[in-house]
């Protein structure tokens, strides 16, 4: 558990460092996801060569535990906007309508584009 958490944080740190060093427009943790993916591939490659290699053998469990309460992690930021909801009052209903319409359209267009190309590739759902 402790080692696994250290592995996740190391990947995040590598992500933060490369995002800053290369001035990339992607957040450090998202790059950290890529590093973690590479680390998992590396781990399994080493394991195939040396079956007694155990470092991070159950890092998946820690990762899944963190993700099982992903909603909780947005609560502190969410509470922060409760006090700022008067912006919807200030700019009238326009912002709320814009958010509603564009979120619906983004969901609709994304899923339609996905299904269209998937069908063109000859896949069935």
Element (H, E) at 57: none
Q: Which of 69, 67, 60 is nearest to 4 (CA)?
A: 60
Query: Under the criterion CB under 8 A, does residue 76 sit at the interface with another protein?
Result: yes
Least distance from another protein to the Cβ atom of residue 29, Å = 4
What CA–CA distances, in Å, run from 48 to 2, 19, 36, 54, 59? 24, 32, 18, 12, 17
Footprint of another protein on 36-65 (CB under 8 A): 36-37, 39-41, 59-60, 62-64
Residues touching another protein, count (CB under 8 A) = 76
| Entry field: residues in the chain | 125
Query: Under the criterion CB under 8 A, does residue 116 sit at the interface with another protein?
Result: yes
The residue from 49, 72, 89, 122 that contacts another protein (CB under 8 A) is 72
């Amino acid at each position: 558990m402790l080692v696994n958490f250290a592995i996740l944080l190391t990947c995040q740190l590598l992500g933060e460092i490369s995002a800053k060093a290369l001035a990339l427009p992607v957040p450090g943790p998202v790059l950290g996801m890529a590093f973690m993916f590479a680390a998992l591939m590396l781990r399994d490659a080493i394991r195939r060569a040396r079956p007694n290699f155990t470092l991070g053998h159950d890092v998946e469990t820690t990762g899944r535990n963190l993700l099982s309460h992903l909603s909780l992690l947005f609560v502190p930021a969410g509470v922060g906007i409760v006090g700022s909801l008067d912006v919807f009052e200030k700019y009238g209903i326009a912002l709320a309508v814009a958010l509603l319409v564009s979120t619906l359209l983004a969901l609709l267009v994304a899923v339609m584009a996905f299904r269209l190309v998937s069908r063109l590739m000859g896949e069935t759902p």
